[in-house]
Amino acid sequence: MVSARSHPAQQTALHLSAEKAVTLQTLLECVDLTLLAAMTSAAAREEIFTLTGEIFKVSASSLPATLQASMSQEICDELLGLGPLEPLLARDDVTDIMVNGLDHCFIEAGGVLQVVASRFTSLEHLSNICQRAAAKAGRRVDESSPICDARLADGSRINIIWPPLALDGPILTIRKFRQQPLTLANLTAFRTLSPLVRRLLELAVQSRCNILITGGSGSGKTTLLNALAGCIGEGERVVTCEDAAELRLQHAHTVRLESRPANFEGHGEIGMTALIRNALRMRPDRIVVGEVRGAEALDLLHAMNTGHDGSMGTLHANSPAQALSRLEALAMMGAARIPARTVRQLITGGVDLIIHVGRMADGARKLMQISEVDELGASLADIFRLGESQLCATPRLLRRAELYGLLDPLQTLLEDAPCNG
């Protein structure tokens, strides 16, 4: 029986790893990293490929040309990118990358979690890549600042947690985002929602309903929010407020705002509450909040109740009913001197629709439920539930549609799919 270490493929891997280390060290001795950093990414990669090619010639490398090219690419990734994670970042089907310490790496591809081989050579290697990811986002991560939540230049969101908070070494999570956002038409093609529901959502946005999208982590809330924003009229001014910019609104008159964490000395933080309050002074027609998770809930409710109809946001919740309770609790964080009854009135007066999305066992995202908030109380009236072919007419939606001249198309849609109870 041949041991794993003596297997030909294993020996080749060990040889490649050793030759890669020697090539990288030789390259570092002859390249000016400062000049390399000043180049464009394309120019820097071309320079590295040229230099590694010369190193292979001088050393009379026995590697085939294809392996030389592959090794040059890996060296580029080590010097300019996120090392062994770059091939995963380049895959279109990968949405999440999760590195749990040195030996465990997972991805989500096609909605399904998968184990992938970790190619970090040591904890130092992993730590360097984590620190480089933070640096690319203009942040720092170390023992004195052990949590980093930031956005990379391509829009990907990174989260790093550092020892001693992370017990098994640095933990890195990357959420990738499409450069070309999905539309309602795309979501219909993916069967996230039906053509009937798609048309209902288009009319709801055009009728300037205030909408809250709810669901669990990774359920597709931001994706749906982005798609809904595609229905906003071109004549409207939209201001987006986010902790980490993820939205990609394809709208000509969009102003994008992003919060700022405190600096290393603990000063200079600009939070979501400040962003939304400033957005109200920017003459917005609509305010879109990427995720409501703190006291800024109260400011969004004020916006919805003061003439900024058609505003939207997302909220983590397991159901529309739970969303009302969570929204009230979050709003109370910013309402020390406001009675709970007043906060509830802001919710029922401001939020028209709650759209709930979920992730199924097979990884597919589905629109599960659309509910209307009763203005006279904290109850909900379902317009749509997954598995039912009917759409129910609700007074608030009908009133909105009539106000904006869309009652006829809405009634036609409801007649095509009437609610039988």
Task: Indicate the SS3 state at residue 296.
Answer: helix
Question: How many CA atoms does the CB half-sphere of 413 hold within 13 Å?
Answer: 24
Report CA-CA distances (Å) from 188 to 220, 385, 393.
14, 16, 22
Strand order in 238-242's β-sheet? 254-258, 238-242, 286-289, 312-316, 211-215, 353-359, 365-373, 380-385
Residue 279 near residue 287, CB atoms below 8 Å? yes
The first and second tokens of residue 273, run together, are 């509450």
Domain ranges of the chain: 11-80, 82-177, 184-416
* Pairing state between β 211-215 and 112-116: unpaired
Rounded Cα–Cα distance for residues 155 and 148 (Å): 15
The confidence score (pLDDT) of residue 419 equals 59
**Which residue in 404, 402, 341, 345 sits closest to 374, CA to CA?**
345
Q: What is the DSSP string of 26-60?
A: HHHHHS-HHHHHHS-HHHHHHHHHHHHHHHHHHTT
According to DSSP, the β-strands at 171-175 and 157-161 are antiparallel
Between the two ends of the chain, the Cα-to-Cα distance in Å is: 70
* pLDDT tens over the chain, length 421 residues: 334 444 443 433 444 477 778 888 888 888 777 888 788 888 888 888 888 888 888 877 777 888 888 888 888 888 888 989 999 999 988 999 999 999 999 999 988 899 998 888 889 989 999 999 999 888 889 998 999 988 888 888 999 999 999 999 999 999 987 778 899 999 999 999 999 999 999 999 999 999 999 999 889 999 999 999 999 999 999 999 999 888 988 888 999 999 988 877 778 889 999 999 999 999 999 999 999 999 999 999 999 999 999 999 999 999 999 999 999 999 999 877 889 899 999 999 999 999 999 999 888 999 999 999 998 876 899 999 998 878 998 999 999 999 999 999 999 999 877 654 3
- What are residue 328's DSSP bridge partners? none
Q: What is the spatial distance between Cα 353 and Cα 210, in angstroms, rounded to a whole number?
A: 6
In this prediction the pTM is: 0.84
Whether the domain at 82-177 and the domain at 184-416 fall into the same CATH topology: no
- Strand 312-316 relative to strand 211-215, pairing: parallel
Q: Which fold, 184-416?
A: Rossmann fold (3.40.50)
CB 395 within 8 A of CB 383: no
What does the block give as tokens for 204? Answer: 């709801």
- Residue 267 CB contacts under 8 Å (≥ 6 apart), including other chains: none
Nearest in space to 210 (alpha carbons), one of 310, 141, 134, 115? 310
Residue 401: which of 355, 353, 348, 354 has the closest Cα?
353
- In CATH, the number for domain 82-177 is 3.30.450.370
Q: How confident is the model at residue 24, as a pLDDT?
A: 81
